[in-house]
Structure 1
Amino acid sequence: MQDLIKKAGQVKMLILDVDGILSNGQIIYDATGTETKAFSVQDGIGIKSLARYGILTAIITGRSSPMVDKRAVEIGIDYVVQGRDDKLIALNELLLTLDPKLNISAADCAYMGDDLPDIKAMQTVGFAATVPNAHTEVINRSDMVTTRSGGMGAVREVCDLILKGHGHYQDFIARYTLDESSQDNLS
């Protein structure tokens, strides 16, 4: 586990797939044909926690959905790339658009995906994570498999690990507790 925390401590940007990672992977249409998705509030808090400590976040997804844009704005995702089947090309293009002062390469990124289109991007980054119901080939190529499924807090597990790796986890938790040791952090 310490090796995993150390590896997570190198992450400067977390890149997420949507279907199966930020959502449970189901695509639901209502009677009018409008697509809906469910997102985890816990994942949102985890993503916001990364921003608090200067860790960037991005979405790269093969589908396009206005709900993804809406959720990304709500939780402060820095970059959103939709409608891209080749996730590796999308990842490389995203990295080229970043301010060079950020000094972020693929090796500085974590990528969380769950299916075959995610594998090449996952193999390119410094830290790869997935969910327990991911395709077997994705699981076999991941540094971390979360205990929770996509859309059910899996992203939060990765965010917490990244915070631990950067040494910010206890400070983040202290914001929400009334423990004596955290009183100094509330002022």
Structure 2
Amino acid sequence: MCDLINEAGKVKLLALDVDGILSNGQIIYDANGIETKAFYVQDGVGVKALKKYGIKTAIITGRKSPMVEKRAKEIGIDYVVQGRDDKLVALNELLADIELSLAECAYMGDDLPDIKALQSVGFSATVPNAHQEVLSRVMMVTSRTGGMGAVREVCDLILKGHGVYDDYIQQYVL
């Protein structure tokens, strides 16, 4: 765990896939054919905590969804890239724009389109129900699944790596 915390301490940007990471991976249509997604509140608190300590966040997803834009705005995601199947190309373009390296980036993804990005960053994480090929190629597998606190686990680890976790928690306790 110490090595993971040390690696997480180098992270300046956390990039997230959506389906299976920020959400549980289900695509639900209501009776009118409107797509809905569910997001986990604790993940949002974790993303906001990263922002407080100057760690940038991004979403890189292959699908396009107005719910993703809404959730990203609500929790303060810095960069949203939608409709991009080649996650590594999209990530490299984003990093070039904000002048960060892959080594300074963490990426969370759960399926085959995420593998190249996961293999290229300084810190990679996935969820326990990720595709088997993803599970074998990441540094960290969270204990929680996507849309149920997995992102929060990684956010907390990054805060620990930066040495600010205890400071962050102190604002909530007596």
Same fold (TM over 0.5): yes
> In structure 1, what is the equivalent of residue 97 of structure 2?
97
1:27, 1:139 → 2: CA distance?
22
2:6, 2:132 → 1: CA distance?
25
Q: Secondary structure at the match of 1:132?
A: coil
Query: How many residue pairs were aligned?
Result: 174
Shift of 1:95: 1.1
Which of 106, 127, 130 is matched with 2:126 structurally?
Answer: 130
Q: Does 1:172 align with 2:174?
A: no
TM-score (norm 2): 0.99
1:154, 1:93 → 2: CA distance?
26
Which of 153, 156, 162 is matched with 2:158 structurally?
Answer: 162
Q: Does 1:116 align with 2:89?
A: no
| Larger relative helix fraction | 1
> In structure 2, what is the equivalent of residue 27 of structure 1?
27
Q: Secondary structure at the match of 2:20?
A: helix
Q: Does 1:5 align with 2:1?
A: no
Shift >4 Å, 4+ stretches: none
1:74, 1:87 → 2: CA distance?
23
- What value does the CA root-mean-square deviation take over the aligned residues? 0.5
Q: Does 1:70 align with 2:70?
A: yes
> In structure 2, what is the equivalent of residue 86 of structure 1?
86
Question: Percent of aligned pairs with the same residue?
Answer: 76
User: In the alignment, residue 142 of structure 2 is paired with which amino acid?
Assistant: T
Note the residue ranges of structure 2 that are not aligned, 5 or more in a row: none
> In structure 2, what is the equivalent of residue 182 of structure 1?
none
Structure possessing the higher radius of gyration over alpha carbons: 1
Shift of 1:96: 1.7
User: In the alignment, residue 145 of structure 1 is paired with which amino acid?
Assistant: V
Q: Secondary structure at the match of 1:129?
A: strand
Q: Secondary structure at the match of 1:15?
A: strand
TM-score (norm 1): 0.92
1:93, 1:14 → 2: CA distance?
15
